[in-house]
């Protein structure tokens, strides 16, 4: 792996991966993930719907299973489309051994993510835009402590890992190979913000994604944005949990 002028690692150039940086391919894979994960989640939703009168996704265990299935499909698509076919590798993505440097840089970017997101959310609030991202997670509505733990595992462990592999490890890198890293950062971050389907939170999520992509670009270590993403989610879930149980 080569390095930038300031000595930080440079992500390897992979000509084969550039072919997968075309928008039809990226969007096709993303739509495929959504369709396949929805089909796999349908039996789970039906089972929980039959056993409960509450809204299905207000059950934390249902949401946990849905997120788990979606994350499995995301990773499966990356593996069978890119890894298995030799287009790239986990190592080239930067998924090597976690080091103290990875943890330190990840926490630094995570803190930056939290601070910048908080400032943006405050600014939006002054303009009358209320944030509803946290309300999508049914903490305290059912399931007790076990339900809270299930939501935390899904949102702080599974989601950050899977989303970083797909959006930074694949989308950002593939777009960067075709259009340069700056456009890769901008386009992948906008896509990341858009797929969350939350207009009020689009700006904080997109800016946060750009910060994670920058941390990844500078370090060449995918654990950096994974840890940063997990830290941001952990802070958000802590505040949500305290607001419910405090």
- Residue 9 phi, psi (nearest 5): -60, 145
Structure tokens at 80: 């069978």
Coil, helix or strand at residue 31: helix
pTM exceeds 0.85 for this model: yes
Q: Is the dihedral of CA 102, 117, 59, 196 positive or negative?
A: negative
Q: Can you give the pLDDT at residue 130? A: 83
The C-alpha atoms of residue 18 and residue 34 are separated, in whole angstroms, by 23
Structure tokens at 18: 């550039």
The C-alpha atoms of residue 9 and residue 4 are separated, in whole angstroms, by 6
**What string of pLDDT tens digits covers the 246 residues of the chain?**
555 545 556 676 678 899 999 999 999 999 999 999 989 988 877 776 655 544 555 678 888 888 899 999 999 999 999 999 999 999 999 999 999 999 999 999 999 999 999 999 999 999 988 877 766 776 766 667 888 888 899 999 999 999 999 999 999 999 999 999 999 999 999 999 999 888 889 999 999 999 999 999 999 999 999 999 999 999 988 988 887 776
Q: Which residues, other chains included, contact 41 with Cβ-Cβ below 8 Å and sequence gap of 6+?
A: 65, 66, 69, 70
Q: Can you give the pLDDT at residue 239? A: 87
Beta carbons of 134 and 236 less than 8 angstroms apart: yes
* Buried/exposed 13-22: b ≥16 CB within 10 Å, e otherwise: ebeebbebbe
Beta carbons of 163 and 192 less than 8 angstroms apart: yes
């Amino acid at each position: 792996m080569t390095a930038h002028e300031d000595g930080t690692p440079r992500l390897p150039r992979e000509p084969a991966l550039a072919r997968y940086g075309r928008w039809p391919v990226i969007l096709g894979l993303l739509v495929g993930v959504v369709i396949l994960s929805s089909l796999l989640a349908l039996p789970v939703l039906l089972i929980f719907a039959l056993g409960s009168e509450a809204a299905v996704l207000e059950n934390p265990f249902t949401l946990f299973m849905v997120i788990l299935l979606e994350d499995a499909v995301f990773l499966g698509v990356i593996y069978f489309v890119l890894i298995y076919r030799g287009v790239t590798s986990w190592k080239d993505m930067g998924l090597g051994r976690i080091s103290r440097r990875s943890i330190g840089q990840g926490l630094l970017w995570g803190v930056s993510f939290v601070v910048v997101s908080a400032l943006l959310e405050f600014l939006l609030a002054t303009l009358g835009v209320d944030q509803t991202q946290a309300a999508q997670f049914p903490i305290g509505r059912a399931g007790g402590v076990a339900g809270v733990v299930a939501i935390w595992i899904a949102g702080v462990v599974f989601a950050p890992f899977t989303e970083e592999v797909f959006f930074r490890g694949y989308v950002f890198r593939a777009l960067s190979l075709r259009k340069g890293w700056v456009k890769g950062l901008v386009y992948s971050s906008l896509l990341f913000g858009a797929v969350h389907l939350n207009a009020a939170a689009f700006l904080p999520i997109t800016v946060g994604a750009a910060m994670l992509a920058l941390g990844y670009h500078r370090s060449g270590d995918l654990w950096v944005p994974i840890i940063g993403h997990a830290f941001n989610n952990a802070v958000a879930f802590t505040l949500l949990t305290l607001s419910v149980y405090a």
